[in-house]
Each structure stands twice: as structure tokens, then as C-alpha cells.
């Protein structure tokens, strides 16, 4: 049996931050993961590296006026905390906002992290100043995307390992936390066979032995539940979002299995807000999958025409890039499993970004010439590849052919060309003036008042049926599982609480497994870029607390 001061379970971003912060406090740390070394970094490696900052130099350069007060209004308007168990999530939300408006950027910058200068405007919300959504752009894409966010922590962890201060234990799957005299004192589990499956792939669960590790404190940083669709369906908030979908694409690798939640519960850790989750409605089936049922999320600009499986346009605020769960609710309220975008080449070229480090080689590889091509006449390479090879795309020169192609793709033949033409022509008529009663057209024009959107993310307003903007494109959009907003209940020191709201001695949690802090610092809705940030913050808190 091996003994350490601290055992961190999970080598994702939260675990890496917690482990390195604990090492810096002179503690002897073990970092355990069920996957192999090639998977170090977990989900964050695949992420776009979008980070939520408040009143950053990048925002100011883009003439965005942001403030802690405005961010607080947006956060609490989105979170809509309404439960007694939201006491700690509220505290975490406030602490995280202060971090995002304060030390977060300088702490990362001092470790060599930098950001793309054009700030993105994600999740614009439901239409009310004090309701859900970002009043201003706050999504700062890291130069180097997810791997760029991970780099300093991987570097620090590997350095600590070389110095004998940190021990990596890969292919160690934790099955149980051990308790001695009421305190959590380590973990037991099985050793999994070595597996050369590339990063993100589904590795084997062949057992070759077992293990026990003893530690003065245990930090659970095992991620969410998005890779376990049965668990997602079981936790699904039917009263808020309608019945769970039968089919979803997976926005996360298989290792995001949620097993550690019940393992931690078994030693007294409480789970709160398990019904709060963040799944996207703009999922594509990846033509070149890394993990099983791999889905890629489109980060859409505001211009695509969005309709249900029968061709009925969604009402505002169910518009591209506005209200993730509002749109999910609109889809599921009708019992549908998917929806459609109809757009033009002019829109796809400027407005489709694909989430994922591998879908953005220019930003991930810090390749300026490739990045500049985004300003050119054609869609970025990865988007073009989906148009050419993705099974969810139909590209045609006129609406009749497009609708025929979309019907053929779904095999359901529910779309009628007359019904769609009437709605699209009505929308197109609203393009004649620089003002409009159509909420989406108004939103498009509003977006272009922001320099960043005008430059990179919002196509010049045009008629969808204008042949000059063509060809027309239909995109089938699947529901894509991603983030877990609830989780292990923690106080502001990252200590896991029991049912009586008392810390379970020796037990800490960080990252997605703890609802990014507190058991759900986002409440019901997220502002985006807040997940990696939540892992950074809660990992830092837990890693600094264990030494006290």
C-alpha cells in the first residue's frame, strides 16, 4: 500500500490544478486516473479553451464596457437560484465572479496563457436585462485552445513528478473511498490493463489487479456524467425540459462516466442539483469520430433560420446562440429528437464555429496564416469538411431541392416546401429596412453593432433566398450531452458536505463533479466559458485548502 498526503482522483483540469497547488504547499501528492497517460488533461484537452473574464483588457480593446455589477446581474439572472441547498452554490457564484473579474486572468497570464484578441459573445440569453444571458461578449478563446489552458498545469505536474513530489497513477480505477475513524483516508480500486488507445478513445476495462492508496486527504475531481447517457436520462428534469431524448450524440468522451458520484455518496458526500445540466441543441454527428457516438457542437452566429422537424420556425428567444436550455425545452416540448438550421453559404462561412480543439487547428496550433483564412471567401477547413462529409448536411441550389434532400436525410418526410417558403420569404422581407419587428432580424443587426461580431461572427444581413448568397444549406441538429451543472455539495474551502451540511473529514471535491463549485455554481443556466474557469477556481481552492 502506498501513502501520500493528498490523493487527487482525476487527471482532468480540476485535478491537475488541485494537485499542483497542493504540491506547491509542500504536500506529497498522488494523481490517479482510470485512463492512460495519453489522456492527461481529460475533457479540457478537447475544449475550445473559451474562458469567461469580466472587464478584461481584450474586452476593453474591443470597446466592450463590462463590470462586476453587470456580470453579477447576468450570472444571478441566469442561475435563477431558488432552492435552500443553493446557499453554497450562491457563495461559489459570487466568489467565482470576483475571481473572473480579478485574479483569474493575471494568474493564468503569469503562467504563460494568452488569448485571441476578438472576444466572443456566447449565450445572449432570453431577452431580459435581468434574466438569463451575457449582456456583453465575455468568451475569451485561449491561444492554443484547451491544450493551451492545460499547458501550465501539465508542465507543473510533470515537473513535480520529476522531482518526486507528485506520483502519477494511471490506469487506476477507483471503486471505493476508504474511511478510518470517520475520516476519508484513501481509495481502493482496480488496476486496468495498459491500453494504447489514442487520447479520447474508449479504452478497455480489463482488470489486471487491484490497489489501495492511503492519504491524509482525498480530492475528488472525476468530471461529470455527460458520457453516461443512461445517467443523463435518469437525472433529466422532465418538468422543465420535457421527456429525455431517446437519442443524443456524445459531446464528451466515455470516461465522463459519473461513477465517482455514487462512490463519494457511499462515504457520506451529498449530491445536490443533480437535475441541473447543460446540453446543447446544435450537435452534429462527427464524420471522423474520436469517441463512440461523437458529437460536435456548432457555436452558431445569429443568422440561421431554425425550425423544428415539421418546419415550424422557433419563436424568440430560441435563436442561434441565445438560449441553450430555452431551445432544448422548445424542441423537447414537441417531443422531437432533432431540429434544423437552414442557412446560406454566406452565413456558414462567417457564423459556424465548431467547438473542440481538433476542429480549430489554427487556434490550437497558433497558426496565424491559417487563422487569417477565416476572413476569406470560403468556410474554414473543418466546417467545409463537415459540409462535404458530414451526414447531417444537405447543400442545394434552391429551396425545393433542399427540402427534398432534408426529407430524404431524415427519412421522415415531414418538411413541406410551401410551409417553409412562406416563413423564409416573410423573414426575407424584413431585410429591406435597417430595422424590423422580427426579433431575430433585430438581433442580427444588434450583433453587428459589436465590432467582433461584425468582423468575424455575423454575416451581413441578407435574404436567405438570394441566389447570390447561396447555395442553401440544411443542417440536421442533434441534442448533444455535455456538462453537469449539479454535483457534490462543497463549501468555499472545497470540503465535501454531508446531509447535515457538515464537512466529511478528509474529503474534498473540485471541477465538474462538484458542479464547478458548491454543487452547482451555475444554478440552472450557464454563461459559457465558465466550466474551464470553474475547474481552475475550484481546483485551486481545493488544492490550497488541503494543506491547511
Kindly list the residues in this chain that would bind ligand FAD in the complex (CB under 6 A).
9-15, 32-35, 39, 42-44, 46-50, 173-174, 221-223, 251-252, 255-256, 259-260, 355-356, 483, 511-512, 529-533, 535
Q: Who contacts 2 (Cβ-Cβ below 8 Å, separation ≥6)? A: 30, 167, 213, 214
d(CA 400, CA 416): 9
Q: Which residue, chain included where needed, has cell 476519508?
A: 184
Peptide bond into 471 cis (omega under 30): yes
Q: Which residue, chain included where needed, has cell 484537452?
A: 45
Residue 197 or 407: the one with the smaller Cβ distance to ligand FAD is: 197
Q: Who contacts 289 (Cβ-Cβ below 8 Å, separation ≥6)? A: none
Sign of CA dihedral 150, 292, 305, 317: negative
Least distance in Å: CB of 43 to ligand FAD? 4
Q: Which three cell numbers stand for residue 379?
A: 468556410
How far, CA to CA in Å, does 442 sit from each of 306, 327, 385, 465, 466? Answer: 15, 19, 31, 19, 19
What would the DSSP string read from start to end of 130-184? TSSS-SS--EEEBTTHHHHHHHHHHHHHHHHHHTTSEEEEETEEEEEEEEETTEE
Q: Which residue, chain included where needed, has cell 473540485?
A: 510
Quickly list H helices, 187-334: 229-235, 238-241, 259-265, 324-333
d(CA 335, CA 417): 22
Q: Who contacts 348 (Cβ-Cβ below 8 Å, separation ≥6)? A: 379, 383, 387, 473
Residue 403 or 536: the one with the smaller Cβ distance to ligand FAD is: 536
Residue 221 or 479: the one with the smaller Cβ distance to ligand FAD is: 221
Least distance in Å: CB of 278 to ligand FAD? 9
Least distance in Å: CB of 48 to ligand FAD? 4
Across 77-100, b (16+ Cβ under 10 Å) vs e yields: bbbebeeebbbbbbebbbbbbbbb
What would the DSSP string read from start to end of 355-419? -SGGG-HHHHTT-HHHHHGGGSSS--HHHHHHHHH-TTEEEESSHHHHHHHHHHHHSS----HHH
Least distance in Å: CB of 334 to ligand FAD? 27
Residue 117 or 446: the one with the smaller Cβ distance to ligand FAD is: 117
Least distance in Å: CB of 295 to ligand FAD? 9
Residue 346 or 526: the one with the smaller Cβ distance to ligand FAD is: 526
Residue 156 or 483: the one with the smaller Cβ distance to ligand FAD is: 483
Residue 223 or 311: the one with the smaller Cβ distance to ligand FAD is: 223
Residue 126 or 189: the one with the smaller Cβ distance to ligand FAD is: 189
d(CA 252, CA 263): 21
Residue 264 or 344: the one with the smaller Cβ distance to ligand FAD is: 264
- Residue 29 C-alpha from the chain's centroid: 28
Residue 279 or 313: the one with the smaller Cβ distance to ligand FAD is: 279
Residue 111 or 262: the one with the smaller Cβ distance to ligand FAD is: 262
Least distance in Å: CB of 424 to ligand FAD? 32
Question: Which phi-psi region, left, alpha or beta, contains residue 97 (left: φ > 0; alpha: ψ -120 to 50)?
Answer: alpha
d(CA 517, CA 486): 9
Any idea what DSSP says for residue 115? B
Least distance in Å: CB of 223 to ligand FAD? 2
- Residue 437 C-alpha from the chain's centroid: 33
Least distance in Å: CB of 474 to ligand FAD? 24
Residue 223 or 242: the one with the smaller Cβ distance to ligand FAD is: 223
- Residue 152 C-alpha from the chain's centroid: 21
d(CA 100, CA 91): 14
Residue 256 or 542: the one with the smaller Cβ distance to ligand FAD is: 256
Beta pairing, strands 249-250 & 472-484: parallel
Residue 254 or 316: the one with the smaller Cβ distance to ligand FAD is: 254
Amino acid at each position: 500500500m502506498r501513502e501520500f498526503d493528498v490523493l487527487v482522483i482525476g487527471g482532468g483540469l480540476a485535478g491537475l490544478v488541485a494537485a499542483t497547488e497542493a504540491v506547491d504547499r509542500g504536500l506529497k501528492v498522488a494523481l490517479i486516473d482510470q485512463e492512460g497517460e495519453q489522456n492527461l488533461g481529460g475533457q479540457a484537452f478537447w475544449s475550445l479553451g473559451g474562458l469567461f473574464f469580466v472587464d478584461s483588457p481584450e474586452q476593453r480593446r474591443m470597446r466592450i464596457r463590462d463590470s462586476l455589477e453587470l456580470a453579477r446581474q447576468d450570472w444571478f439572472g441566469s442561475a435563477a437560484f431558488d432552492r435552500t441547498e443553493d446557499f453554497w452554490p450562491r457563495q461559489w457564484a459570487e466568489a467565482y465572479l470576483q475571481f473572473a473579474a480579478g485574479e483569474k486572468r493575471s494568474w493564468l497570464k503569469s503562467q504563460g496563457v494568452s488569448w485571441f484578441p476578438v472576444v466572443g459573445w456566447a449565450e445572449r440569453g432570453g431577452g431580459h436585462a435581468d434574466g438569463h444571458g451575457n449582456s456583453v461578449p465575455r468568451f475569451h478563446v485561449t491561444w492554443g485552445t484547451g491544450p493551451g489552458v492545460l499547458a501550465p498545469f501539465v508542465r507543473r505536474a510533470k515537473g513535480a513528478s520529476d522531482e518526486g513530489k507528485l506520483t502519477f497513477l494511471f490506469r487506476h480505477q477507483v471503486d471505493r473511498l476508504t474511511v478510518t475513524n470517520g475520516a476519508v483516508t484513501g481509495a481502493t480500486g482496480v488496476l486496468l490493463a495498459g491500453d494504447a488507445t489514442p487520447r479520447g478513445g474508449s479504452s478497455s476495462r480489463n482488470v489486471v489487479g487491484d490497489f489501495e492508496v492511503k492519504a491524509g486527504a482525498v480530492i475528488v475531481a472525476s468530471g461529470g456524467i455527460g458520457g453516461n447517457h443512461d445517467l443523463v436520462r435518469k437525472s433529466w428534469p422532465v418538468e422543465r425540459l420535457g421527456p429525455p431524448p431517446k437519442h443524443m450524440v456524445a459531446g464528451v468522451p466515455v470516461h465522463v462516466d459519473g461513477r465517482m458520484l455514487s462512490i463519494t455518496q457511499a462515504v457520506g458526500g451529498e449530491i445536490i442539483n443533480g437535475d441541473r445540466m447543460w446540453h446543447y441543441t446544435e450537435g452534429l454527428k462527427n464524420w471522423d469520430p474520436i469517441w463512440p457516438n461523437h458529437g460536435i457542437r456548432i457555436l452558431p452566429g445569429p443568422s440561421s433560420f431554425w425550425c423544428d422537424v415539421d418546419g415550424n420556425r422557433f419563436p424568440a428567444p430560441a435563436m442561434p446562440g441565445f438560449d441553450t436550455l430555452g431551445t432544448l425545452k422548445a424542441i423537447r416540448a414537441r417531443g422531437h429528437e432533432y431540429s434544423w438550421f437552414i442557412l446560406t453559404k454566406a452565413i456558414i462561412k462567417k457564423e459556424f464555429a465548431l467547438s473542440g480543439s481538433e476542429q480549430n487547428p489554427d487556434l490550437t496550433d497558433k497558426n496565424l496564416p491559417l487563422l487569417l483564412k477565416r476572413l476569406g471567401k470560403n468556410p474554414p477547413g473543418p466546417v467545409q469538411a463537415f459540409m462535404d462529409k458530414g451526414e447531417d448536411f444537405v447543400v442545394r441550389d434552391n429551396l425545393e431541392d433542399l427540402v427534398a434532400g432534408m426529407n430524404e436525410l431524415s427519412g421522415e418526410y415531414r418538411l413541406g416546401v410551401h410551409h417553409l417558403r412562406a416563413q423564409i420569404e416573410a423573414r426575407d422581407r424584413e431585410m429591406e429596412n435597417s430595422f424590423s419587428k422580427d426579433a431575430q432580424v433585430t438581433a442580427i443587426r444588434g450583433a453587428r453593432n459589436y465590432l467582433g461580431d461584425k468582423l468575424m461572427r455575423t454575416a451581413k444581413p441578407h435574404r436567405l433566398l438570394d441566389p447570390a448568397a447561396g447555395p442553401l444549406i440544411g443542417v440536421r441538429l442533434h441534442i448533444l450531452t455535455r456538462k453537469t451543472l449539479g454535483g457534490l455539495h462543497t463549501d468555499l474551502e472545497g470540503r465535501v458536505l454531508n446531509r447535515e451540511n457538515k464537512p466529511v473529514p478528509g474529503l474534498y471535491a473540485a471541477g465538474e463533479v462538484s458542479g464547478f463549485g458548491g454543487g452547482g455554481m451555475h444554478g440552472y443556466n450557464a454563461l459559457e466559458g465558465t466550466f474551464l474557469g470553474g475547474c481552475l477556481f475550484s481546483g485551486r481552492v481545493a488544492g490550497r485548502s488541503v494543506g491547511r
